[in-house]
Amino acid sequence: MAFYRLDDAGRHQAHVIRVDGGEASALSSLPSGVDASVPPVWSPDGRRVLVTGWIEPQGGTASDATATGDVQVVESRSSRRGLWVLDARKVEPVSPEPLTGFRNCSEGVFAEDGRTIYCTVVLAEEPEPGRPRRTAIGRLELSGMSRGKGEAAGAIPILVQDQVIAFDDPGFDLSCPRISPSGEVVSVLGRSRRSPFFEPLRLGMFEVGPTAAPSPAWLTGGDAFDREVISYQWRAGQDALLLNALDDGGVDLLTISRTLLSRPRVLVEHQDDLPVGISSFGSGGGVVALVRCAVDSPSELWVLDARGLQRIWNPNQWLEGIDVSVPETGWVTPRGEEPIPYWLYRPQGIEDDARIPVVVWLGSGPGSMLGPGVFKDWFPTQLFAANGYAVLQVNPRGSAGYGRDTRRRIYRDFIRGPSRDVFAVLQHVRQQDQRLGSGGEVILAQGFAGMLATWMISAMPAIDAAVIEDGVFSVSTAYAEHADWAVLRELLGGIPQDPAVLSITREIDPAAHIDRIEASVLLVTGSTGGFVTTHSTNLMHRMLTLGYKNVQHRAHQADGSEVACVGQRDRFERILRFLSQQVERP
């Protein structure tokens, strides 16, 4: 098996280990490491491993700086990547040169002949201001990939004989090529250039050969199936695709036939009327193996075969004897509005007359999705419920998992509209059980949901506390600081200086409403593993402090990678400690 492991310098490197046991061997010692977000790929003969790596160290250096008038401009090279072919039989890590051909490429896969590689290529053409460079699918033809019996590894250098842009669509950024088992089709993912936020990531395919169409045949993304595709692969030995997609609080596993080109058919979606999440999957030997997240267990290994779905490994023995909170599910339909889905997790063992605090879980803002089938939400929701809080998850307008029309409802209305939806659900659950919220009300938010949380606590004095992690609080600071600033241009329908955009920006700016905030606020940075909003959080903290508000600020050391278990424990211990000072627990 091929996998990645951190070296002493903190860079990911490729390793292999035999499936029958033994010690792992390092294959690479790339100066800037491999890109751990792109899995290693085996060659058809099992002799080599293809990896995506960084061409230069991430971030600019002094040598990259150029003078432009009085301003020194540093070119960030963190996004430039290349492909490396590593010999799996070497016992010492090597640092070979990347394949030549394309200056910036990634996500390579071998064709059946072992000498052809398809990959994602960043095109050199200059994009429009504020737009990323386009991506297309390239093809590399290699020499030196086969050697005779007894010939030493690496004796024949691997060279690029030819490189060409095989598939390109000006309307879409193409990525993640995969080759069908028959070798007749290359499938791709496509992201709309015109509307990358409101249009779902879609799945398409090209016929291989001289008569290949200039644009892919899209299998998803139309009105028949407009959910966001997360990942996909070809089913072993079949001209059929497996894919997972966001849907109503979970992640469904689906299949679609290349020959029928019909709507994707759902293989796994719900358990006892609650959504589940299929985070990863694979196929072989006549079965589909999948990792499933459900309310009763955060992560289990299941297989799907002709007999149906069967669990084959449960690594969560620590849950034996523990009563997890099974959420109540429902929909609220305010007058003149669309239905709003929600899930309510109640604390266990609560007395009939107990005062129950409510945590309103907002997630990361526009375009995100909450629900029982979302793995990253499993631990926080169960942890808060186990500590005496009711947890309310709401998917307001603009959430993923409900199609294009639901997402488009937040065009130029990504704060007021969603806040009305959340308030409507909160009011509904209070009316159903007056104990809910009697012990206090709390909002938890991350990222762009920071603007929504700030708006809600300024509009609703009944909210006692808010915890906002790496929050975005204003359009101006997000444009200046955040890596995903371009999302705002699509949400607002223009650039910051447009009169209509200026009007919206002023209306939702926290400076205009901060005097109305009465809730205690905990601002946290570096705790989620995502983008760290240092400047935005510092500005919000300063405004609250100058306004004599009850605010605390905690900064975690962050390196942009996934937060380790010990970091997660510290994160939630701090949040629970803060909340215990603000609300009343049963």
d(CA 383, CA 389): 9
**pLDDT tens, residue by residue, 72-93:** 443 344 479 999 999 998 767 7
pLDDT tens string 56-75: 765 544 333 333 344 444 33
> Per the structure block, which two tokens stand in for 321?
């004897």
Spans of all domains in the chain = 1-58+78-168, 341-505+518-542+556-580
Instruction: Report, as an integer, the average pLDDT of 400-422.
Output: 97
Weakest mean pLDDT among 66-75, 102-111, 314-323: 66-75
**Judging by DSSP bridges, how do beta strands 520-525 and 465-469 pair with one another?**
parallel
Q: What is the mean pLDDT of residues 486-502?
A: 95
Query: Which residues does 420 contact at the CB level (< 8 Å), separation at least 6?
Result: 334, 337
Strand 520-525, strand 551-555: pairing: parallel
State the average pLDDT for the chain. Answer: 90
Share of the chain above pLDDT 90, in %: 77
More confident position, 192 or 129:
192
Give the pLDDT score at 529: 86
Give 13-19's long-range contacts (Cβ < 8 A, gap of 24+).
Answer: 13/93, 14/40, 14/49, 14/51, 14/86, 16/49, 16/88
Could you tell me if 140 and 119 are in contact, meaning their C-beta atoms sit under 8 angstroms apart?
A: yes
Taking the C-alpha atoms of residue 475 and residue 539, their distance in angstroms, rounded to an integer, is: 13
What 8-state DSSP symbol labels residue 567? Answer: H
More confident residue, 149 or 460: 460
- What integer pLDDT is reported at residue 435 of this predicted model? 95
Which residues, 6 or more positions from 381, have their beta carbon under 8 angstroms from its beta carbon? 325, 327, 345, 361, 391, 393
The pLDDT of residue 334 is above 90 = yes
Residues in Cβ contact with 193 at an 8 Å cutoff, skipping those fewer than 6 apart: 131, 134, 170, 171, 172, 173
Span 341-505+518-542+556-580: which CATH code? 3.40.50.1820
Q: Is the pTM higher than 0.85?
A: yes
Within 135-293, residue ranges assigned H as helices are none
